[in-house]
Structure 1
Amino acid sequence: MSTALPHKRGWCPTAWQPMAAGDGLILRIRPRLARLSPDQMRLVADTARIHGNGAIDLTNRAALQLRGLSYNSWEQALQSLIAADLVDEDPGREARAILIAPDWQHGDDTHRLAIELYRRLDELPALPGKTGLAIDTGRVARLTGNSGDFRLERGETGDIILRADGRAAGVAIRHGGEIDALIGLARWFTESGGGEAGRMARHRAALPDWARGDLRPLSCATPPEQGAHPLGTALALPFGRMDAAMLELLAGIGGMRALRLTPWRIALLEGVAPTVPAIPFGDPRLLAVDACVGAPACPRASVETRTLAARLAPHISGRLHVSGCAKGCARAGPADLVATGDNGRFRIAFHARADDPAYAEDLSPDDLAALIESMFRAA
């Protein structure tokens, strides 16, 4: 295989197009149905260990990122992942970002529609790199707050609706025509100039008549808490981080049928009871904290992030975001408190994004921690 590896930075990596970072290449895996068997878990762990630095991230689109791969061996990693049916042999199909409500059951609408969409991926037009498709048609909404440009959801009336991201309501779709409608909306997006906007929510063209409706999706349920889950056990992964050893440990737990990935930095251990002693439960308080990998793993970052985030978390009521730079990769939206790296120091803002004007700046980690602790004590 001879694959030209791009050297640009800042886009979303795939398995076929890894992205350069400070600790090596990042290779992203999007397992079908966001589900890995124990054998696939072991294969991913071996790949992360042999070809990378062993670090694995769970992303907010329910994908896995292997870190620290080398330019000399990432193609070997790719081939082993293709052989394990974890990566599509076609780069175009592999690049499709599909988000599926993780509590699907075999044969239900979400499962049915996801299987059909995977089968028909070649019918989708060329879309901007970060464009995503979401399928969330269970009786409880799970993904309303998660990224997805073209969405199949359960409406308040019980119908399955098609909704364009950025629009509050969608249109009911007849049974059996859902994927036709989803593909049709994606084609309209490209034909109407959506590529220039980049994302559906930023595309201001009026929707075609057939895609307009007034049916709202179900209100989104909160993500599961760590512990018992209808599928088995929900496991918190602070900052979305695990490693090869942890994934291998999970694969060997008695009763493990599969690992399901979610967009909330929570993994679902299918078939595993929460009382199993081997489960490496994480600190659930850190699920309200967004922190990128920071320096030195990211060349854009000028500060370490996650140690500081864990230090600040007990003092913050609400959402905390610690970002290595103003790009704000870990969280696009505002947080109750955001601390942003700036030339080796920090600036902070409240109810803001990483690139918003600062409330205070030129702070060392100790300065920042002391300021936050004093402010929240006073409150």
Structure 2
Amino acid sequence: MTSCATPRPDAADASMRRGTCPSLAKPMQTGDGLLVRLRPATGSLTPAELRALAVAAERFGNGILEVTARGNLQVRGLTAASVSSLASAIGEAGIAVAAGVAIETPPLAGVDTDETSDPRPLALALREAIAAHNPPLKLAPKLSIIVDGGGRFHLDDIVADLRLKAVKSDDGVAWLLSLGGTARAARPVALLDQREAVPGLLAVLRRLAATGDAARGRDLDVDVVKDDLAGGARSPGTSTLVMEPAVPVAGLHTLADGTTVLGVGLAFAQADAAGLTAFLRKAEELGAAEIRLAPGHGFFVLGLDREAAAKVQRLALSLGFRIASDDRRNHIATCAGTGACASAMMETKAVARLMVEAAPELLDGSLTAHLSGCPKGCARPSSAELTLVGAPSGYGLVVNGTASIAPSAYTDANGIGSAFAHLGALVRKNKDAGESARSCLTRLGAARIAAAFEQG
């Protein structure tokens, strides 16, 4: 289902309910105005389309665009009146926006030559079947379905309610159905062949709808779901559960067929419209034909030859984008922070830049630092090795936990730079040869980490 919907008059109030997602039809109120989240219906944008969207974001919002951890696009700083103007601009640019249940495929679906199967036809068939279902299925607003064909840029680390993962079988390709969590944490249910996949998913969705309009994948009983699938499923074998890490988005990638793909990351999930527009204009001049938004706050640029991709990559670096897997900014998760969120008590982007400068030793890629403006922990609901949480009088540090638990140490706003420096020094002075920052901190323990932080 696609849409270029205009917002309803009560949309901003409705989107503040817990469990809803911001959209053109239901924008969400934030500290810097209304926020809209978009998913391209086709899974991609042309450089001209994304450029038109950036221009509209600057004209009708505050000029800040974000790519979320799941690879969706967000426009910030809108007003009730300007959301309608943004929707019109999107329609005029010919951009179709996905609506309905979130069905996600890997960012290079159909392009990644290492994928087991192109998941897009199955995802489209499922989307059409859900839209045509009568009576309409009443499902949780944040329900998500992943249809993953595998490959180098798979979605194993993305949480989903329902997951179909392509696996090789004796008969060719089958789809592993699992419930809840990441691919590693999900509960496997059954192997479905191509013709059984859509009817099987619809049976699970009907079970969710019957359970209640707030029911999620984690609420389902595996044995009950197996019964719903009747005879159209096989038991999953242990060999189907083997997983490998996804390749980081940022970087210059050569696929198995020789195709060059440029991966670019947004610094701390955000880009300003002017910089993004300049980047897209030059990339298009050099041959870029397609943009694929990607999980991890980034996007891929397709259509460039190797030489042109290298030029565009250098331009991206000059504009402040992340272009390499060893960029220390890759390892910091930040929420919107003060000024953009009414709940935040930390200017997360500024604090993140300070962390890169003061404690580079922490950011070797072995751990994730989570900077959360408040205890809700929106940027990273799961545990992180180091979580800094905004507080009324400064910052709290959580070691190996989420933003919602009690901090192990505190510092005031004036001491955060020194606190970071002391943490960096703790790793630098105690790390053994070849040891990662994560291993070093684990060995030293939470008490020593907290003591170093509070020296600031």
Which range moves more in the overlay, 99-108 or 172-181? 99-108
Alignment match, 1:105: 110
Whether the aligned pair in 2 keeps the contact of 1:233 and 1:269 (CA below 8 Å) is yes
Alignment match, 1:154: 166
| Pairing 1:182-331 to 2, within 5 Å after superposition | 182-193=201-212, 195-196=213-214, 198-204=215-221, 206-209=223-226, 210=229, 213-215=235-237, 216-229=240-253, 230=255, 231-252=260-281, 253=283, 254-272=286-304, 273=306, 274-277=309-312, 279-281=315-317, 282-283=321-322, 284-313=327-356, 314-317=360-363, 318-331=367-380
Distance 1:106 1:183, change over 3 A: farther
Normalising by the residue count of structure 2, what TM-score does the alignment of the two structures yield?
A: 0.75
Question: In structure 2, what is the Cα distance between the partners aligned to 1:203 and 1:342?
Answer: 37
Alignment match, 2:12: 6
Which range moves more in the overlay, 73-82 or 204-213? 204-213
Whether the aligned pair in 1 keeps the contact of 2:187 and 2:222 (CA below 8 Å) is no
Question: In structure 2, what is the Cα distance between the partners aligned to 1:370 and 1:333?
Answer: 25
Structure 2 residue 404 is the aligned partner of structure 1 residue 375: no
CA displacement, residues 300-354 of structure 1 (integer Å, 9 cap, x when unaligned): 0011112212322413151100000000010011111000001141100111101
Question: In structure 2, what is the Cα distance between the partners aligned to 1:80 and 1:118?
Answer: 25
Whether the aligned pair in 2 keeps the contact of 1:52 and 1:69 (CA below 8 Å) is yes
Question: In structure 1, what is the Cα distance between the partners aligned to 2:329 and 2:337?
Answer: 16
Whether the aligned pair in 1 keeps the contact of 2:174 and 2:194 (CA below 8 Å) is no
Question: In structure 2, what is the Cα distance between the partners aligned to 1:255 and 1:234?
Answer: 15
Amino acid of the structure 2 residue aligned with 1:296: G
Normalising by the residue count of structure 1, what TM-score does the alignment of the two structures yield?
A: 0.89
CA displacement, residues 67-90 of structure 1 (integer Å, 9 cap, x when unaligned): 0011121112113323444344xx
How many Å apart are 1:179 and its aligned residue? 2.1
Alignment match, 1:333: 382
How many Å apart are 1:299 and its aligned residue? 0.6
Question: In structure 2, what is the Cα distance between the partners aligned to 1:205 and 1:344?
Answer: 47
Question: What secondary structure sits across from 2:278 in the alignment?
Answer: helix
Question: In structure 1, what is the Cα distance between the partners aligned to 2:7 and 2:380?
Answer: 35
Richer in helix (by share): 2
Structure 1's unaligned 5+ residue stretches are none
Question: In structure 2, what is the Cα distance between the partners aligned to 1:375 and 1:48?
Answer: 43
Percent identity among equivalent residues? 24
How many Å apart are 1:54 and its aligned residue? 0.8
Whether the aligned pair in 1 keeps the contact of 2:69 and 2:297 (CA below 8 Å) is yes
How many Å apart are 1:46 and its aligned residue? 1.7
Question: In structure 2, what is the Cα distance between the partners aligned to 1:347 and 1:143?
Answer: 32
Which range moves more in the overlay, 325-334 or 32-41? 32-41
How many Å apart are 1:192 and its aligned residue? 2.8
